[in-house]
Structure 1
Amino acid sequence: MRLSFFLFLCLVLAGCNHFEFSPNQAFDRNSFRDINNRNLKKLGSGATDDTVRFVLTGDSQKSRDETVAFCKAVNALPGIDFVLLAGDISEFGVLKEMEWISRALEDLNPPYVAVVGNHDLVARGKDVFLNMFGELNYSFTYGGIKFVCHDTNGREYQFNGQTPDMQWLQHQLKPENGVTGYIAISHVPPNNPDFDPGLIKPYTDTMVQTPGLLASLHAHTHQFEEYFAGDRKVPFIITSAMADSEFLVIEVVNNNLTYKRVSF
């Protein structure tokens, strides 16, 4: 009798998609995998698209209901090519948090991609992000604009001088055939105390000195901000948090970048 019950219990647990052995689990059979690459394949290159229009949002942690409302608001807008989620998908780096938000974002009509936030790196968050979304530093080109997505969460690495990865970043921002402009995307902006203080100047100088850099986009502070750097007055634009029910619609036409704040 005991053996029969044990076998029955094993079958139940094996067949239960929601069973977790630990809150520190980095993936389960329900987890999304490689979201960024999957959605970039859907997006394509935009080779014939002369207007690049996308949404910037961030800090979706603890905001599943707002994320549902966000998807409805974005879907109601015309001509949105894709959505950029600028980090802090989760609050505690827990698998279920990222699954809840990712499931809500599946309702978006345009594809979305994410960059890693500081909260996404706590506990097992880095492993969860790598499994669910992909690399921490990556880039893609759409409509002739190269989007350079990267990790700027210096405090999570004890300000070790390696985050952001300046060598990788500078290589990504070199002139490239078919690329007319560049947009950098990361979570922590360089004017924030969570950015590695030893890398603020080289990072900002890199942005300012990159020909064709249209903007550096960020989240993290939970409030909108824009400031400028260098003689070219390169804009550093920070979006509000998902919980504040606001996002940015950014448009690039003929290498001119404009944006508007949208409440939902």
Structure 2
Amino acid sequence: MFLVPALITVMGLMSCNNFEYSPNQVFDKNSYKDINAGNLKRLGDGRKDDTVRFILSGDTQRSRDETIRFTKKANEIPGIDFVVVAGDITEYGVLQEMEWISRSLSKLKAPYVAVIGNHDLTSRGREAFMNMFGPLNYSFVYGGVKFVCHDTNSREHKFNGEAPNIPWLKAELQAQEGVNNYIAISHVPPNSADFDPKLIADYTATFAAVPGFLASLHAHTHRYELFYPDNSGIPYFVTSAMGNEEFLLIEIINHKLSFERIHF
């Protein structure tokens, strides 16, 4: 008579350990923490590196298998300093997908950093991203180049005039000792309907006013594009989606930027 309640209790405990991820979950025991900060520490400042060579990728959502193949391809390319994932790590801001992609990217030989995408801001993705990767706006310097990574997902901020954060960008782009060039990295490009139209002119003018500004790098549209939104001559690059099995290999030598489209 005493075995039945005990059996029910055991079965109940077993069922508690066999659970599905909640869409509202932002952290668990398997989650990575502060990936960007950890990888930037590993990267260092590259003061003695006269060539900066990195990969621009993006939109890994629903592309776990392609991300695995991307990692293998990236590891075959010599001289890669770091890898950038320009947003939309997930489709619905769900922790489980963020963990899947992060586990695949952890196999990269070079350190990688991520910026926030519009899909990453859905559900509780903002909190999951901040736990796993860090702040939505941040910067780092490598090889005399300052990389300014920021949130341009205006639609998810209801076009409130704060994404992108223009005052923050202007402060980050001030002249700085040891910095010769600047590159901006974000998810949504300024030629997208998802970018706040009220901020486009100030955004591009902010970059155009910076001596040594080399390029603005984006993802989001799932197709490669190179465009010039004004007469400053500054190129704006959009990398294709991970699902299209393509990324950009970018190189900076003697203050000049070159690039190559890589298929895998």
- Do the two structures share a fold, i.e. TM-score over 0.5? yes
State the alpha-carbon separation in 2 of the partners of residues 29 and 7 from structure 1: 25
State the alpha-carbon separation in 1 of the partners of residues 135 and 11 from structure 2: 38
Q: Match of 2:187?
A: 187
Q: Match of 1:61?
A: 61
Deviation of 1:64 after TM superposition, in Å, equals 0.4
Compared CA separation, residues 78 and 196, structure 1 to 2 (3 A) = same
Q: Given residue 246 of structure 2, which amino acid in structure 1 is its aligned partner?
A: E
Cα distance per residue 1:196-246 (max 9 Å; x no partner): 111011001101111111000000010111112444300101100001111
For residues 92-241 of structure 1, what are the structure 2 equivalents within 5 Å?
92-241=92-241
State the alpha-carbon separation in 2 of the partners of residues 164 and 185 from structure 1: 11
Cα distance per residue 1:40-89 (max 9 Å; x no partner): 11111111100000000000000000000000100000000000000000
Deviation of 1:22 after TM superposition, in Å, equals 2.3
Q: Match of 1:51?
A: 51
Contact 2:217/2:238, CA 8 A, preserved across alignment: yes
Q: Match of 1:31?
A: 31
Contact 1:151/1:186, CA 8 A, preserved across alignment: yes
TM-score, length-normalised on structure 2? 0.95
Q: How many residues align?
A: 262
- Unmatched runs of 5 consecutive residues or more in structure 2: none
Q: Match of 1:89?
A: 89
Q: Given residue 206 of structure 1, which amino acid in structure 2 is its aligned partner?
A: T
Q: Percent same amino acid at aligned positions?
A: 57
Q: Which runs of 4+ in 1 moved over 2 A?
A: 1-14, 18-23, 229-232
Contact 1:208/1:229, CA 8 A, preserved across alignment: no
Deviation of 1:5 after TM superposition, in Å, equals 4.8
Contact 1:189/1:220, CA 8 A, preserved across alignment: yes
Q: Given residue 197 of structure 2, which amino acid in structure 1 is its aligned partner?
A: P
Compared CA separation, residues 2 and 125, structure 1 to 2 (3 A) = farther
Q: Given residue 262 of structure 2, which amino acid in structure 1 is its aligned partner?
A: V
State the alpha-carbon separation in 1 of the partners of residues 53 and 166 from structure 2: 28
Contact 2:21/2:96, CA 8 A, preserved across alignment: no
Q: Given residue 141 of structure 1, which amino acid in structure 2 is its aligned partner?
A: V
State the alpha-carbon separation in 2 of the partners of residues 35 and 11 from structure 1: 33
Compared CA separation, residues 145 and 9, structure 1 to 2 (3 A) = farther
Residue aligned with 1:197, SS: coil
Q: Match of 2:244?
A: 244
State the alpha-carbon separation in 1 of the partners of residues 15 and 175 from structure 2: 54
Deviation of 1:21 after TM superposition, in Å, equals 6.2
Q: Given residue 127 of structure 1, which amino acid in structure 2 is its aligned partner?
A: E
Q: Given residue 153 of structure 2, which amino acid in structure 1 is its aligned partner?
A: N
Compared CA separation, residues 195 and 10, structure 1 to 2 (3 A) = same
Cα distance per residue 1:130-170 (max 9 Å; x no partner): 11111000000001100000000000011000111111111
Q: Given residue 151 of structure 2, which amino acid in structure 1 is its aligned partner?
A: D
- Unmatched runs of 5 consecutive residues or more in structure 1: none
